[in-house]
Chains A and B, each alone.
Chain A
């Protein structure tokens, strides 16, 4: 116990040195954790935006549709499937969709797009694309053949609200269907690719133009949220029990989106690792100085009977105390800053770039345990050289040391 007490009191012998070291660890850790929270926030925002603009949490397709996007691969007896989905206890919202790949053309230009034919009311229960509108409305009028397009597509086609856009696609019997639509609304998400390649229209218009009623996709949200879509998927697999259908979570449909979130974590740990590596040298330097100054004292301790293993422990403990104090202060500062900016957001660019929102809301790491383990490891590794130097001291020489 006395060793523990000595180590603790040794921390405070040179308050300036320990203070600087503790502050370095705290600030370094704050930087690491905050960067981690920012990256988490960016990735989560990207994932969330994908979920609320199109993806939802779970999707049902006919098997093979996701590969060929074949018009004929519609969901058989879809009304029955939709009913099962809507009555599931984990379902929050359910939107049956027609999904067609086609060409959007104006008098100026044309662009290949994916057309989502939706039931407006049901789509509102699943995605929030309406909240991204920058002009016009989301199928409020009763006019037929309206379309809501992204800002990038509008720019490319040089069209505005109420402009005419011709949508061409292969019909169910491999005939070319050309239909003129009026632009009802223009949305702008943080993803220029999405804004350029996806357009919404009403499924009833597509049904009327093709002469058939069908859907290709059922997008569903779970009451358990986007982070836990597996429960809903498993429920639906059991209740629908149709082997011709693929019932998948967003993670299964777009694994790269899921990987993106993981990438955020990996990047964070790499950044934190670099920070701690640099801090390790600071700790090593300070502890080496401290041991050098205390050589005589350590020699006396060994002379009067302190075993070398306890000298080693004493130095490692002192380093661990310093690192843990710095770690706790850093963690508290991080919690305060992340909580504040998690509510207010940080605007780090004038506009959204490369699919990432320009306002980031940092997200608290799920656990601080890995961080503390990293600090602990840094402390122990940094303490090893001075501790090994200390136990190699010869008492007879050390007691003559004048500092």
Chain B
């Protein structure tokens, strides 16, 4: 379970302070499929970055299974992210010099898993997201929807319990969006993986179990 207490993030604290997150309190249960919505600049991405350990809060704490997420060194945080959190970005952010399979395998190699295991899991994950035949392709040869599926497979590679997705459907057409959401929901239901998705997309909101509305760095509404 994720417990967010009094989370504050202020940029430019020394000059013109901008409060990106303003005393956010929230609990996210294991296995949730949550959409974080709101206008641009409302603090969605900042919230996801801090939740994923990419950024640090100005104030407040995030407890994951009772442990303070940010109470670790920079090196420990990198290891923690690698082993426990999966990331999906708006523009897919795959390594262009690696094939789809290699992109998925990469994180497992960082974890020091054996080659055979890496290859088998990479293949299985690409099959699971519906592009098992595209493993040898480089990202530039794949469509946007296919690239985002590789990104989801990569996010799953380290067997994380939490996946953070920042506008994952923003660059996808309706069909690709629908397919991607089906895959994410299946993973959420079958594997009990927690998804937190920052989005503007109504289709994502429609499929989410919970929708959290942000504005001016504050949670203004929660719908289940």
Contact = CB atoms under 8 A, between A and B. Distances in A.
A399 B54 CA distance: 10
A296 interface: yes
Contacts of A13: 96-97
Nearest to A13: B97
A305 B83 contact: yes
Nearest to B166: A399
A300 B91 CA distance: 11
Q: How large is the interface on B (under 10, 10 to 19, 20 to 34, 35 or more residues)?
A: 20 to 34
Contact of A304 (B49, B75, B82): B82
Contacts of A5: 97-98, 102
A395 B54 contact: yes
A297 B91 CA distance: 11
Nearest to B83: A305
B54 A305 contact: no
B78 A301 contact: no
Which of the listed residues A10, A303, A304, A394 has the most CB atoms from chain B within 10 Å of its own CB?
Answer: A304
A300 B106 CA distance: 12
B158 interface: yes
Contacts of A399: 54, 89, 93
B52 to A, nearest CB: 7
Given A10-B97, A297-B93, A308 B54 contact: no
A270 interface: no
Interface string B82-108: 110001010001011110001001110
B109 interface: yes
B90 to A, nearest CB: 10
A396 B78 CA distance: 12
A304 to B, nearest CB: 6
Contact of B107 (A10, A304, A395): A304
B170 interface: no
B97 A9 contact: yes
B119 interface: no
A176 interface: no
A9 B95 CA distance: 11
Contacts, number: 66
B105 A303 contact: no
B174 interface: no
B117 to A, nearest CB: 15
A6 B89 contact: no
B141 to A, nearest CB: 15
A309 to B, nearest CB: 9
Given A304-B87, A305-B107, A296 B93 contact: yes
Contacts of A302: 78
B55 interface: yes
B143 interface: no
Contact of B97 (A6, A304, A395): A6
Given A2-B105, A308-B78, A399-B93, A303 B52 contact: yes
Nearest to B94: A300
B110 interface: yes
A354 interface: no
A42 B7 CA distance: 76
A289 interface: no
Contacts of A307: 75, 78-79, 110
Contact of B110 (A297, A303, A305, A394): A305
A394 B78 CA distance: 12
B56 to A, nearest CB: 9
Contacts of A6: 95, 97-98
Nearest to B84: A305
Interface string A1-19: 1100110011001000000
A1 B114 CA distance: 12
A1 B112 CA distance: 11
A396 to B, nearest CB: 4
Contacts of A300: 87, 89, 93
A306 interface: yes
Contacts of B97: 5-6, 9-10, 13
A2 B106 contact: yes
B81 interface: yes
B81 A304 contact: yes
B44 interface: no
Contacts of B105: 2
Nearest to A398: B54
B154 interface: yes
B86 to A, nearest CB: 8
Contacts of A296: 93
Contacts of B110: 305-307, 310
B81 A2 contact: no
A297 B78 contact: no
A305 B49 contact: no
A305 B158 contact: yes
Contact of B79 (A1, A305, A400): A305
A305 B49 CA distance: 14
13 contacts: A1-B109, A2-B102, A5-B97, A5-B98, A301-B95, A303-B52, A303-B81, A304-B107, A304-B154, A305-B82, A305-B107, A305-B110, A307-B75
Given A302-B78, A395-B54, A396-B49, 7 more contacts: A2-B98, A10-B97, A297-B95, A300-B87, A303-B52, A307-B75, A399-B89
Interface of B: 45, 49, 52, 54-55, 74-75, 78-79, 81-83, 87, 89, 93, 95-98, 102, 105-107, 109-111, 154, 158
**Lowest 7 A-B CB distances belong to which pairs?**
A305-B82, A9-B97, A396-B55, A396-B54, A300-B93, A396-B49, A395-B54
